[in-house]
Structure 1
Amino acid sequence: MDGSVALPRPLLALSLRLATALALATMSMLVKLAASRGVHLAELVFWRQALTFCLIAGWLALAGRLASVRTTRIGAHFRRSLYGIIGMGFVYGAVILLPLAEATTISFTTPIFAVLLAMVLFREKIGIYRWTAIALGFAGVLFVTRPGGGAIDPLGLGVGLVAAFLVALISLQIQDLNRTERPFTIIFWFTAMTAPLAALALPFVTGPHDGLTWAIIGGMAFCGAVAQILLTTSLRYGSAATIIVMDYTALIWATLYGWFVFDNMPPVTLWLGAPLIVAAGLTITLREHHLSRKKKLTSLEL
C-alpha cells in the first residue's frame, strides 16, 4: 500500500502500530524462551508460518475473499518467499544469540541498509541528510557493540546485521509486489510457500516437547501471525512515515522482557547507541517521505 490511504485515521494507525511492536517483541521473547528449552530454529520458523497461513486462509475463506489471492506474479512471490524464510532464520537467530534489547536495537539498522541498497541497485543519489543518518546509525552500532570490548557476541552481531540487511532487501521486494498485489495476497503466498519449505527440516530437528514448551511455541506463532495482520492493517489507516515511530517502542518491551524473563539488563552503552540508531532511522524515513511527496508534486505540475 502506498503512502496515501483511503481511510486516514492516524490515532487508530498509531495504536495498531504500537500493538504491532508489542506483538513482535513478545514473539521475540517467546522465540528465545523456546530455544532455551531445546526447540530448534527451523521448527520455530515452521510453526510461525503454518499458523499464520491457517489464520490468513481461514479469514479469507470466511470472508468469501479467497479468490482475491489469485496472482499472475507467482515467480515474484516465490523469490520474496525464498528471501523471506532465509531472513526469518537470521532474525530469529539474532534473537536467540543476543540479549533481546541488543537484538532489537541492531534490527533498527534496516532503514540504513535500505538506503544503501537503493544506491547500489537503483543508482539512487544519496544526499547529505541520508549520509548523515547512515553515519549516525553506524556510530550507534559501535556504541552498542563496543568492538573489542567483549560486550556482545560477534556471531550474534553478524547474524543481526545480516538479518537487518535481508529485511531491507525483502522490503524492496514487497514494495515491488505492492504495485500489483494486495497486502493479504502477499502474506498468503509468503506463508503458503514457506511453511512447506520449513516442514522439510522437521524430521531432522523436531524432538519431544512438554506441554509448557508447546504452549510457548503456540504463543510465539500466534504473536507472529497477529503482528503481521496488525502491521498490514496499520498501513490501511496511516502512512508508514507517520506511524513508523511506534516501531521503536519495541525496545522498551524487549528491555522489560529481557529484565523480567531472562534477568538481563542492557549495559549503559546500549542507551548511548540506541538513540543514534533510532534517530538515523527516523531521519531516513522522514527524508524518504519528503522526497516521495516532492516527486508527486512535480509529476502533478507536469
Structure 2
Amino acid sequence: MNPIHQASEHISRGIIFMVLAVFCFALMDVAMKHLAGHLSSFQVSFFRGATSLPFVVLWLLSQRTLHKIRPNNLLLHGLRGVISIAFLILTVITLRELPLANAYAIFFAAPLIITLLSVPILKEKVGVHRYTAVFVGFLGVLIMLNPNAMGFASIGVVSGLLATLGYSMVMILVRYMHRSETSESLMFFFVLSLTLGCGALALTDWRPLSFTDIPWLLLLGISGAIAQYLLTEAYRQAPPSVLSSFEYTAMIWALLLGYFFWQELPSMWVLAGACVVIASGVYISHREAIRKRQQRAIQDS
C-alpha cells in the first residue's frame, strides 16, 4: 500500500475514534448530570471513579502492563489526585446546575488557561499569535457569561469556572509528570484517587440508591471506559495536532443530548460565545502544531 495512503487511513481512523470518544464522554456526563439530580455531588464523583476502576484494571491486565503503574513521584500523584477530586466535584455541580451545552461552553475555556499556565510552570514559550488567541477566547467567555446569558454569580457558573481552572491545572501536571511517569500510572492513580478520595467524602452525605439508578451507573462506567479506550486508540492512529480540534464536537453532542433528555436549548449569547472560544482553541492548537514542527526541524538540522 502507498505509504501516503496508509498514513491517510490511520489519520481517518484516528479522527473517527476521537469523535466517538467525545460522544462517549458526553454520555458519561449525561449519566452524571442525571444522578446529580438526587444524589450528592460527592457520591456521583465517587461513582465516576469506582465504576471506571475495574475497567482500567482489566485493560491493564489484558495489555500485560500492570507492572507499569509503579509511580516514580508519589508527591505529584497526590497533588494531582487532590486537584482532580476538587475539579470533578465542581464539574458535577456544574452539570447539575446548568444545561449541558452551557456547561460545555465554559469547559471549552480550558485550552486558554492551559496555554497561560504553561508559561510559568512548564517554561514554554508562547508567541503573540497564541496570546492573541487567548485574549479573543476570553472575550468569548465574557460574551457567554453576560447577564443576558448565564450571568457571573450563579452557582453553576462559578463552579464551572473553578472546575475549568482545576482541570487545566491537572493537564499541566500531566504534561510535567509525563517526563517521569508512564501513561499507565497516570491513568490508574487518577481513577484510584477519585474512588478513594470522593468515596471518603461521599460518606459524609450518602443518599440511598434505587433500582432505577442501576442503568445510569452502568452507563457511567461503561461509557467512561469505552471513551478512554477510544481516546487511546485515536492518539495511537493520529497526531494530537490533528485530533485536538475534533474535541469540540462535544458541543454537538451536548446540544443533541441536552435537548433529548431535558429539552434544554442554550441562548444565542451562549452559542456565540462558545463559537469564539472554540475558534480560539482551534487556532491555539494550530499554532502549537506549527511550533512543534519548527522544533523538530531544528533538532533534525
TM-score by length of 1: 0.90
Instruction: Give how far 1:119 is off.
Output: 2.7
Of stretches 112-121 and 148-157 in structure 1, the one that deviates more from structure 2 is 148-157
Q: Distance in 2 between matches of 1:26 and 1:297?
A: 41
Q: Does 1:156 align with 2:156?
A: yes
**Maintained 8 Å contact 1:98/1:153:** no
Q: Distance in 2 between matches of 1:149 and 1:183?
A: 39
**In structure 2, the residue corresponding to 1:200 is in which secondary structure?**
helix
Of stretches 56-65 and 40-49 in structure 1, the one that deviates more from structure 2 is 56-65
Q: Distance in 2 between matches of 1:106 and 1:282?
A: 15
Runs of 5+ consecutive residues of structure 2 not aligned to the other structure = 1-6
Q: Distance in 2 between matches of 1:93 and 1:120?
A: 30
**1:155-174 superposed Cα distances (whole Å, 9 cap, x missing partner):** 22221122112211111111
Alignment of 1:1-302 (within 5 A): 9-36=10-37, 38-122=38-122, 124-147=124-147, 154-301=154-301
Runs of 5+ consecutive residues of structure 1 not aligned to the other structure = 1-5
**Maintained 8 Å contact 1:183/1:232:** no
**Maintained 8 Å contact 2:137/2:280:** yes
Q: Distance in 2 between matches of 1:95 and 1:146?
A: 19
The one-letter amino acid paired with 1:141 is V
The one-letter amino acid paired with 2:10 is R
**In structure 2, the residue corresponding to 1:9 is in which secondary structure?**
helix
**In structure 2, the residue corresponding to 1:261 is in which secondary structure?**
helix
**Maintained 8 Å contact 2:81/2:194:** yes
Q: Distance in 1 between matches of 2:9 and 2:190?
A: 27
Instruction: Give how far 1:244 is off.
Output: 1.2
**Maintained 8 Å contact 2:76/2:177:** yes
Q: 1:72 to 1:120 in 2, by over 3 A?
A: closer
Instruction: Give how far 1:151 is off.
Output: 5.4
Q: Distance in 1 between matches of 2:283 and 2:170?
A: 21
**1:121-170 superposed Cα distances (whole Å, 9 cap, x missing partner):** 34544322112211221121122122366657632222112211221111
Alpha-carbon RMSD across the aligned residues, in angstroms, is 2.2
Q: 1:67 to 1:119 in 2, by over 3 A?
A: closer
**Maintained 8 Å contact 1:91/1:163:** yes
Instruction: Give how far 1:225 is off.
Output: 2.6
Of stretches 115-124 and 8-17 in structure 1, the one that deviates more from structure 2 is 115-124
**1:192-239 superposed Cα distances (whole Å, 9 cap, x missing partner):** 233112221232222222211232123123222322232233222211
The one-letter amino acid paired with 2:179 is R
2:3 aligns with none
**Maintained 8 Å contact 1:255/1:265:** yes
Q: 1:80 to 1:233 in 2, by over 3 A?
A: farther
The one-letter amino acid paired with 2:96 is I
Q: Distance in 2 between matches of 1:269 and 1:120?
A: 33
Q: 1:160 to 1:153 in 2, by over 3 A?
A: same
**Maintained 8 Å contact 2:245/2:285:** no
Q: 1:127 to 1:59 in 2, by over 3 A?
A: closer
Q: 1:226 to 1:173 in 2, by over 3 A?
A: same
Instruction: Give how far 1:57 is off.
Output: 0.9
Q: Distance in 1 between matches of 2:123 and 2:49?
A: 34
**Maintained 8 Å contact 1:47/1:218:** no
Q: Distance in 2 between matches of 1:77 and 1:122?
A: 17
**1:6-47 superposed Cα distances (whole Å, 9 cap, x missing partner):** 9992111111110111011111111111122x1111111111
Q: 1:120 to 1:218 in 2, by over 3 A?
A: same
Q: Distance in 2 between matches of 1:253 and 1:149?
A: 20
**In structure 2, the residue corresponding to 1:264 is in which secondary structure?**
coil
1:3 aligns with none
TM-score by length of 2: 0.90
